Chains A and B, each alone.
Chain A
Amino acid sequence: MSNLRFTDSALSEWMRGNGQDSDIVISTRVRVARNLQHLPFPLLATDQQSGEVLERLTDVLKNKDDLQDFGDLHVIKLSEIDELDKKVLVEKHLISPNLANESRNGAVILTEDESVSIMINEEDHLRIQCLYPGFQVREAWARATALDDVFESEIDYAFDDKRGYLTSCPTNVGTGLRASVMMHLPALVMTQQINRILSAVSQVGLTVRGIYGEGSEALGNLFQISNQITLGQTESEIIENLHSVALQIIEHEKNARARLLGESKLRITDRVMRSYGILSYAAVMDSKEAAQRLSDVRLGVDLGLLEGPEIPVMNELNVKTQPGFLQKTYGEGMTPSERDMYRAKLIRETLGTH
């Protein structure tokens, strides 16, 4: 079924908007993990049991006045869409690789603007995820907890006095809350302050990952910073801690950018222009280089060194240059070197330089 609306465009509606500090924070994501009482977690659930989970959770959507604020909700069963569409949903961060690959009776519920995605039968029965542009940790949490309340009004969650919300993985137990901000930190990388900052971050209960989650590389100077602790802290402590640490990092990145501009404007301009030139005219482009060059150009635009593509175009390119999207655009089954060629073509066309 290649006419899945959500995989046609690289840009989710929400990405067109600009949130607070969107020159540094690309997006904010909050998710809560929940499970139903008296049913084994998806890891051990039978086909019938995971089917029951799917039915009970999607039933909540019916006739719920509380859900009106969220607009139309679309239920997509993973078994009913093809592999390429799954890949594209992963690249847009609307579902996890885990849901795409391993899930039985897996499904995702999406809002029209794709800012909310509710995963069913992932590692936990229910994972409510809210994605916002820019730096909006509190707003994303407010929306996620409101949705949680809607489900909770109909469903008995697995909850324990002492341990809180019970989850399949011990790293999520308690609040089940993972909040993260995706930050573009080129100046901290260039001025070699990044390691110092990242190690400080890890000492206050936060963790840093690549953009596609656990184990993925921090490509293109993009870092995803999230809370590590879910048990023993309240949700607002977790949210406020992330909020204040992210604010400090934003401040450091701003200072580093100002210093770069002050001390080495010519060098930075040269770097930005070279990257823009290469993106505009290269015939072959691997994903690592694309990520790095796009990072340079984004920095150039933010610093006013380049009247180049607007931020939504840059966001779009980050997603569109991923393997799934390239295949979606230019046809399936390409070799890695063909992908590099089409990636270069796509970037040239998007930048309008052919």
Chain B
Amino acid sequence: MLCQECGKRPATLHFTKIVNGEKTEFHFCETCAREKGELIPGTSNGFSIHSLLSGLLDLDPSGKGQSPGAKMAQTLQCEECGMTYSQFSKLGRFGCSSCYKYFSDRLDPLFKRVHGGTSHVGKVPKRTGGRIQIKRQIDDLKKELQIRIVQEEFETAAEIRDQIRELERNMAQG
């Protein structure tokens, strides 16, 4: 059987994807599967999560068919710990917390694939995360404010507006 994507190479990866009860079968060669990011868990009992991740992240090492973006990614490097993006994509692990900053542009698609989401909405540490807590509080109050305005409860709305201003002032002062 030939790969359903390129139609040239033999299909070596066969799998069934079930989305909302709808079954679809796929037959890809490894190259196309990798390009499409369809290397999914479950096809690979023996694989470690890191090798799976590196499958998701890997850039074509032959250099053929690379987009300019991919070439740029190869030279990306964390200035803090020295890890390059290509090392990261092989290891599937970051070297330090600054890697998140230096590789930032390329992380959203990865996180979307692994987690479905890209932004943290959970617990925030009190010491380092004080600012974030205030920001979340402001966001919540703004939503509340909209509701009050729609319901024409202007007195409460004014109170909420003042609370927001106070919090914003606190935040600006650091």
Interface residues of A, Cβ cutoff 8 Å to B: 35, 37, 39-41, 43-44, 123, 145, 148-149, 152-153, 156-171, 173-175, 177, 199, 202-203, 205, 207, 214-215, 228-235, 238
**Chain A CB within 8 A of B119 CB:** yes
Residues of B within 8 A of A149 (CB): 126
Are B119 and A169 within 8 A (Cβ)? no
Are B91 and A43 within 8 A (Cβ)? yes
Closest to A199 in B: B18
Are B92 and A170 within 8 A (Cβ)? yes
A299 to B118, CA, bound (A): 43
- B122 partner, pick from A167, A203, A235, beta carbons under 8 A: A235
Residues of B within 8 A of A161 (CB): 120, 131-132, 135
**Chain A CB within 8 A of B129 CB:** yes
Of listed B41, B91, B107, B121, residue having the most chain A CB within 10 A = B121
**Chain A CB within 8 A of B68 CB:** no
Residues of B within 8 A of A228 (CB): 115
Beyond A199-B18, A205-B116, whether A145 also contacts B123 by CB under 8 A is yes
A145 to B126, CA, bound (A): 13
Contact sample, A vs B, 18 pairs, CB 8 Å cutoff:
A40-B81, A41-B95, A145-B123, A157-B125, A157-B128, A161-B120, A162-B119, A163-B107, A163-B120, A164-B120, A169-B94, A173-B115, A173-B120, A175-B122, A205-B116, A229-B114, A232-B120, A235-B123
Residues of B within 8 A of A159 (CB): 124-125, 128-129
A234 to B94, CA, bound (A): 23
Residues of B within 8 A of A170 (CB): 53, 92-94, 107, 110-111, 114
Interface residues of B, Cβ cutoff 8 Å to A: 18, 41-42, 45-50, 53, 80-83, 91-97, 100-101, 107, 110-111, 114-129, 131-132, 135
Q: A207 → chain B, closest Cβ, in Å?
A: 7
Q: Is the interface of B mostly helix, strand, loop or mixed?
A: loop
A39 to B127, CA, bound (A): 17
Are B122 and A152 within 8 A (Cβ)? no
Are A229 and B117 within 8 A (Cβ)? yes
Q: A72 → chain B, closest Cβ, in Å?
A: 27
Residues of B within 8 A of A160 (CB): 97, 100-101, 120
Are A232 and B121 within 8 A (Cβ)? yes
Closest to B82 in A: A44
Beyond A41-B95, A44-B83, whether A169 also contacts B49 by CB under 8 A is yes
A199 to B17, CA, bound (A): 11
- A174 partner, pick from B41, B53, B120, beta carbons under 8 A: B120
Residues of A within 8 A of B125 (CB): 152, 157, 159, 165
A203 to B116, CA, bound (A): 12
Residues of A within 8 A of B50 (CB): 169
Closest to A123 in B: B93
Closest to B21 in A: A203
Beyond A152-B125, A156-B127, A214-B49, whether A232 also contacts B97 by CB under 8 A is no
What are the 6 closest A-B residue pairs judged by CB atoms, nearest first? A232-B117, A164-B120, A158-B97, A231-B115, A40-B96, A166-B97
Residues of A within 8 A of B81 (CB): 40, 44
Are A169 and B97 within 8 A (Cβ)? no
